[in-house]
Every structure is written in structure tokens, then in C-alpha cells.
Amino acid sequence: MARRSLTATLALAFAGTTVLVFVVVSSVLYYALDRQVKQQDDLDIVLIARHARRLAQEFGTLEELRGHSDRLTGQVLGNSALSMEVRDAQRNVLFQHNAAGIADPATPSPALTNPLGASHRITQSDIGEWHAAQGAPVRGLATYAVLRDGTLVAVIVARNMTDRWRLLDWYRDRLYAACFAGMLLAFMLSWMLLRESLRPLRVMAHSAATITVDRLDTRIEVDNAPSELITLVVSLNAMLNRLDGGFQRMSQYTADLAHDMRTPLGNLRGSTEVALSRPRSADEYQSVLASNLEECDRMSRMIENVLFLARAEHPQFVRTLTEVDAARELKRIADYFEGVADDAGVQIRVAGGGELHADVELFRRAVNNLLANAIRYTPQGGAITLSAQTPAAAADTLRVTVANEGGQIDPSLLERVFDRFYRVDPSRKNEPNSTGTTGLGLAIVRTIMELHGGSAHAESDTTSTRFILTFAKRQERRSAPGAISEEEKIARNIGTSYR
Ligand code: ATP
Ligand code: MG
């Protein structure tokens, strides 16, 4: 289907409007001229008729009237369009001037068949219009006159309107031509103006066409854009900013993912090569296989975590929101981690409580990730506190805090730790306590909080570090109650990174 052209549509609309205005103005002018012409001619007819009747009534007999016919017909001399006819009571023509065929019996006019009374005051409203024998348009009237001896005669005064109608036709044709020319001119001018006005759009389209994946930092120029398009240009540039940011994050993510996959793969390959370099005892093979299994675990956890993040970003990700008793859940998690905490020589305490509206599996996963970190970074003999409380300033939220004693996270890194694959000290990832970490734990926590319309942030000082999750106590339900999605099943099956 051919695309509609904005320029053509608007130019046609302007041309149409011009025609409409022309038609209205021309009609008014035409009818004004028509009226003006008729009024002037009608006045002549009335005056001549009045005068002729008065003259006729001064004569005593028909013979006397006939003898002085030129006195009556003299009224219409000098204007070839005017004509006069005088008839007796039997409708026989007594005399006439220029009036052949004016009273055509084939087209009888009321103005002729019913002459005005002899004492009737003749006005313009008495004038009628008819066609003469040759078809010429005629305006005129007939009036009776009573001679002094009582004889009744009819005086007919008429004007041939052919010249007038011709003038009006000529005038109408000129108006049609002017109207058509005006329409063409309006169409062409508006077409040119619109094309020129839309030039900035073409420039924008051109600069947009030059933006490719390698040139996502290019922006559309705002300076030359007309005021109506500035909002569009600014929105497009903002969209490009977002795309650029997203694209860079994605590239970084892919690079980090490849980098982090390389380490366990390298370890697997290295240990296998060493094991194969010479014959070994069964115990040695067993130990290599066990270490390889650990690397495989780490890789599969990383893949599962990456998969979770990818799916959680999908708009269709389904959560099952329920009322969660925070104190009970925190206690449950603390119990679950008791063994690991004992091994690390740290103590877990649970404080506070409250109700929150959350997907319980995702809630557990977020707190598990935070507690796994806390256990890793708490010095031996230190304590971790899991707490839930409603802040006085925001009564409709519940803050779940995982606080641990231990070293401070640099304030400038408090936000970065939530980035994917980010570890404060990468060298630590190969420490015994850090084996199996993927650098995705906090990124998952933040994503889970976003899925709940809440937030996650960190605070740290020299004595302790606190990770705070802010949940809304009530939320709009996004999924059908009880519906368990693929993503949730995965979320439930994925282990946490505490190992
Ligand atoms: P994963 O959790 O995926 O196995 P990870 O624990 O290294 O790996 P995150 O949980 O995202 O990744 O944590 C990112 C970084 O934040 C950690 O590497 C660590 O440097 C820092 N961090 C997290 N929690 C604490 C904490 N409680 N105290 C000090 N530093 C922390
Ligand atoms: Mg972690």
C-alpha cells in the first residue's frame, strides 16, 4: 500500500480550504452584483411605467392616445433593451416600441396576464420575469390605465435582460477561473512551504540513519531542530543514551561472563593435564576428580545464576506473592546456616519481625545470598544479625537487615558490589573461603528486590557491614495466586552460593 504523504495531504487540505473560502466569497460577490443590477433596472421599469400610465390617463380617447403614441414610447427611447406596448381591453396591440414578441402567449407571465389596477401604486415588487418569444430573458410589468372617456388600456413595460445576464455569466466565469488558479497556487505554495518546514525531519532521519552499533555514542543535533521537534529529538537522544548504556552493560556482562568461565575451565584443564602426565594412584585420581567436580559445581552455579538473572529481567517473569512472616523465615534461614556458621566460628542472631508481601522463595534466596556473604566476611568469633523492622518514617515498608561484624567496604564501592561479577578484591576469589563464588550474589539480590518493587542497599563502617532490603508491606498482585513459573522452579532448585 502506498504510504500517505504528509506534505501532499496538508497541501491538499490547504488547497481545499482556499477553494472553500473562494467559493463563499465569490458567491457573496456574485449575488450582490446580481441584486445590484436587478435593482437598478427594476427602478427604471417602475419609473417608466408610472410615467407612461400617468401620460395615458391624460388622453380623452383611444384615437387621441394612438395619435400621441410617441409621447409614451419616448420614455423607452435611447435604451435598446427597454420596450413598451399598449393594448386595448381586447388585448389588441394599439402601438409598441421595440416590443416584438415580448408578450409571448406560449410563456404567459402573471406580470402580463393580470395587469395592475389603474390606481395601484407601482413598486419594484410588482415586477415579474419571463422569457420572450425568442427565449430572451425579460423583466417587466403590465398596468391598466383609464382614459378620460373611461376606456381601459394596458401598458406593458419590459427590459431585455440578455446583456445583464451575459455580464453576470462573464463575471461568474472569471470567478471560477480565479478560484481554480487560487487552488493551484495554494497547493503549490503550501507544498513548497511544507517541504521546507519538514527539512529538519529529513536531517534528523539522516543523522539517525548514521547511528550504528559501533556508533551508539552519536546523538541527533538539537540546535537546528525547530521548537516543535525539540521534545522528539531530546526523547530520541535519551533513548540512545539508554540503548548505549544497555549495550555497554551487555558487552561488559558478556566479557565478564567469558572471563569468569575461563578460570574454572582452566583449573579443570590444568589439573586433568597434570593428572594425565604420568600414571597415578587411585587416591590421586580420586582427589583430582573431586577437585574437578568442585569446579564443575562452580560453573553450573554460575550458569544457573546467569540464567536466573536473564529470566528475571523478562517482563513475563511470574512471582507468587504471599504474606510472609519475616521473623519465622529469618529464623529458618539462620537454622539452615547454623552448621556453616559454626564451622566459620561465627554466631547468627535473629531480631525483630513483621509481615511483608513477597514471593517467599525469592525472599529466601535474597537473604541466603546476603547471609552467605556475611559468614564469609565475618572474622572468627564475630556475630551476624538478621533483623526485620518497620521504620518510623515509612510505616508501609519492612526493612530486612543482614548485619555482620568485620572489615569495612570502601564507601565508593557500596553501590558497585551490586554489579554483576563485581568482587571488591578479585584476588580473594581463590581464597579457601571464596571458592565457588560467582560475583553474582548481590546482583541477584538487587534484581529480586526490583521484582518486588523494593530496594537493596549497603552501609558499612569500621565495625560492621549492613545489607538492607526494603520491602513494601502490600503490593499489587502481578501473577495468579499459586501459579508457579518455570523461572520459579529454577529459582527453587538453584542452590545458594554459600558453599
Ligand atoms: P557469589 O555470591 O555470586 O557466590 P560473591 O559473594 O563474590 O559471589 P556478591 O555476593 O555479589 O558476590 O558480592 C560481591 C562482592 O561484595 C564480594 O565479592 C565482596 O567483595 C563484597 N561483599 C559482599 N558482602 C560483603 C560483606 N558482608 N562484607 C564485606 N564485603 C562484602
Ligand atoms: Mg555472595
- The residue extents of the domains of the chain are 6-167, 315-493
pLDDT in tens, 175-230: 999 999 999 999 999 999 999 988 888 888 888 899 888 888 888 888 878 888 88
- Block residue for cell numbers 455569466: 169
Tens digits of per-residue pLDDT, 4-60? 888 889 999 999 999 999 999 999 999 999 999 899 999 999 999 999 999 999 999
Ligand 1 centroid–CA 451 distance in Å is 21
For residue 467, what are the β-bridge partners? 402, 458
Q: Say whether pLDDT at 304 is over 60.
A: yes
pLDDT digits (tens, 9 = 90+) for 309-323: 988 888 888 889 999
- Per the CB < 8 A criterion, the answer to whether 48 and 84 are in contact is yes
Per-residue model confidence as pLDDT tens digits over 333-378: 999 999 999 999 999 999 999 999 999 999 999 999 999 999 999 9
Residues 6 or more apart in contact with residue 95 via CB below 8 angstroms? 66, 69, 72, 73, 85, 86
Q: Ligand 1 atom closest to Cα of 425?
A: 20
List, in sequence order, every residue forming a beta bridge with 87; answer none if it has no partner: 93, 154
Atom of ligand 1 nearest to the CA of 443: 11
Q: What is the pLDDT of residues 247-281, one digit of tens each?
A: 888 888 888 888 888 888 998 999 999 999 999 99
Residue to substitute in 294, 410, 442, 494 for testing ligand 1 pocket (most ligand atoms within 8 angstroms of CB): 442
CATH dotted code for 315-493: 3.30.565.10
pTM of the shown model? 0.59
Q: What is the pLDDT of residue 215?
A: 87
Q: Is 442 in the pocket of ligand 1 (CB under 6 A)?
A: yes
**Per-residue pLDDT, 105:** 62
The grid cell for 304 is: 544457573
Residue 404 beta carbon below 6 angstroms from any ligand 1 atom: yes
Kindly give the interhelix angle for 282-312 and 441-451, rounded to the nearest 10 degrees: 30
Decide: 424 in ligand 1 pocket, CB within 6 A. yes
**Direct distance between the N- and C-terminal alpha carbons of the chain, in angstroms, rounded to an integer:** 62
pLDDT band at 426 (very low <50, low <70, confident <90, very high): low
Residue 438 in contact with residue 305, Cβ under 8 Å? yes
Work out the angle between the directed axes of helices 199-209 and 162-197 (0-180°, nearest 10).
Answer: 30
- 3-state SS class at 462: coil
Q: Which atom of ligand 1 is nearest to the CA of 438?
A: 3
Residue 481 has pLDDT above 80, yes or no: no
Q: How far is the CA of 334 from the centre of ligand 1 (A)?
A: 19
Q: Which of 84-93, 120-129, 216-225 has the lowest mean pLDDT?
A: 216-225
Residue 423 Cβ contacting ligand 1 at under 6 Å? yes
Q: Which of 125-139, 435-449, 480-494 is predicted least confidently? A: 480-494
**Alpha-carbon span 130 to 158, nearest angstrom:** 10
Backbone φ, ψ for residue 436 (5° rounding): 85, 0
Report the amino acid identity of residue 115.
P
Query: Which-ligand-closest: CA of 308?
Result: 1
Tell me if 439 CB under 6 Å of ligand 1.
Answer: yes
CATH (one of 3.30.450.20, 2.40.50.100, 3.10.150.10, 3.90.400.10) for 6-167: 3.30.450.20
Helix H or strand E segment including 471: strand 464-472
Ligand 1 centre distance from Cα of residue 110 (Å): 111
What's the pLDDT score for residue 108?
A: 67
Query: How many angstroms separate the CA atoms of 367 and 373, rounded?
Result: 10
The response to whether residue 460 sits with its C-beta less than 6 Å from ligand 1 reads: no
Residue to probe by mutation, ligand 1, list 298, 373, 404, most atoms within 8 Å of CB = 373
**What is the reported pLDDT for 492?**
38
Distance 416 CA to ligand 1 centre (A): 10
Q: Which candidate, 168, 174, 176, places its Cα nearest to that of 34?
A: 168
Say which ligand is closest to the CA of 407. 1
Distance 457 CA to ligand 2 centre (A): 14
- Residue 439 C-alpha to ligand 1 middle, in angstroms? 6
Q: Which ligand is nearest to the CA of 423?
A: 1
Nearest CA, atom 10, ligand 1? 441
What is the C-alpha to C-alpha distance for residues 338 and 351, in angstroms, rounded to an integer?
16
Pocket of ligand 1 contains residue 441 by CB under 6 Å? yes
Between the CA of 496 and the centroid of ligand 1 the distance, in Å, is 13
As given in the structure block, the three cell numbers for residue 218 are: 552519536
Q: What is the pLDDT of residue 5?
A: 86
Query: And the C-alpha cell for 63?
Result: 384615437
377 within ligand 1 shell (Cβ under 6 A): yes
**Ligand 1 atom 23 nearest Cα:** 373
